[in-house]
């Protein structure tokens, strides 16, 4: 789970179905797991989330070990000094590459986001622009393996934008994907590359991860070659 750690930060590969942080006291989240690990080693102290991944999504996250590091990383994100890439498997055959731009609006009651139709965007005061670019890496059985670069970080952005163009993520029944036989299959989405400036040293840091979820299994050889 832990990819890198020092006195200021932790970089972890979050497994699917583990929430980064939750108010449900009966559910152990990533912050609790890491805090308990530190306590067991005699290293008391808080761990601060800087960004998040949806609960069924796996991949790389950076967490802060001090308030100062958290504040600096938050500033870096606001100034777009973070670079985040994802692998995804979507239903259907996409274009070779493309850029998606939509206005998204979040519904807190249902924990979903939706695309605001173009003619209604001006009147949707809570809508926010979402931008991403993608490259198709492989095709198998009417599914596409994609590399995705986020330009913005909106709620459920990748899931909503690909569903909006008719290519929902494999396993994402919430946004229109075909049901799968397993009761709980992770979304075929992985935060595979994370690049940022270290909050104390100023060093440019870059980390990579390979997906392990079932939705990526048929593309294992293609991913191994990347």
Contact 53, 14 (CB under 8 A): yes
Q: What is the pLDDT of residues 32-52, one digit of tens each?
A: 888 888 777 777 678 999 999
Q: 158: domain CATH number?
A: 3.30.2350.10
State which residues form the domain around 134: 2-225
pTM: 0.90
Residues 6+ apart with CB under 8 A from 144: 89, 90, 92, 93, 94, 136, 138, 167
pLDDT value of residue 47: 92
List the catalytic residues.
54
pLDDT value of residue 73: 95
Query: How many angstroms from the chain centroid is the CA of residue 115?
Result: 19
Residues 6+ apart with CB under 8 A from 78: none
* Alpha-carbon span 127 to 24, nearest angstrom: 29
Local confidence pLDDT in tens for the 226 residues of the chain: 899 999 999 999 999 989 898 877 677 889 988 888 877 777 767 899 999 999 999 999 999 999 999 999 999 988 878 899 999 999 999 999 999 999 999 998 999 999 998 766 555 668 899 999 999 999 999 999 999 999 998 999 999 999 999 999 999 999 999 887 655 677 999 999 999 999 999 999 999 999 988 899 999 999 999 8
pLDDT value of residue 48: 93
pLDDT value of residue 126: 80
Number of domains in the chain: 1
pLDDT value of residue 142: 96
């Amino acid at each position: 789970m832990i990819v890198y750690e020092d006195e200021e930060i932790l970089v972890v590969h979050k497994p699917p179905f583990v929430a980064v942080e939750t108010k449900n006291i009966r559910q152990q989240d990533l912050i609790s797991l890491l805090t308990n690990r530190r306590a067991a080693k005699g290293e008391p102290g808080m761990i601060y989330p800087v960004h998040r991944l949806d609960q069924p999504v796996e991949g790389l996250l950076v967490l802060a070990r001090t308030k100062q590091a958290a504040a600096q990383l938050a500033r870096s994100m606001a100034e777009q000094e973070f670079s985040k890439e994802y692998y995804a498997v979507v239903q259907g055959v996409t274009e070779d590459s493309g850029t998606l731009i939509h206005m998204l609006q979040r519904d807190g009651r249902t924990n979903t986001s939706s695309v605001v139709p173009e003619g209604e965007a001006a009147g949707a005061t809570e809508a926010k622009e979402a931008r991403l670019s993608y490259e198709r890496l492989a095709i198998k059985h009417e599914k596409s393996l994609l590399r995705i670069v986020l330009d913005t970080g909106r709620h459920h952005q990748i899931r909503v934008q690909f569903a909006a163009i008719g290519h929902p993520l494999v396993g994402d029944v919430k946004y229109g994907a075909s049901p799968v036989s397993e009761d709980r299959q992770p979304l075929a989405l992985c935060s595979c590359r994370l690049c940022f400036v270290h909050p104390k040293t100023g060093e440019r840091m870059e980390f990579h991860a390979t997906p392990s979820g079932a939705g990526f299994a048929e593309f294992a050889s293609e991913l191994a070659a990347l």
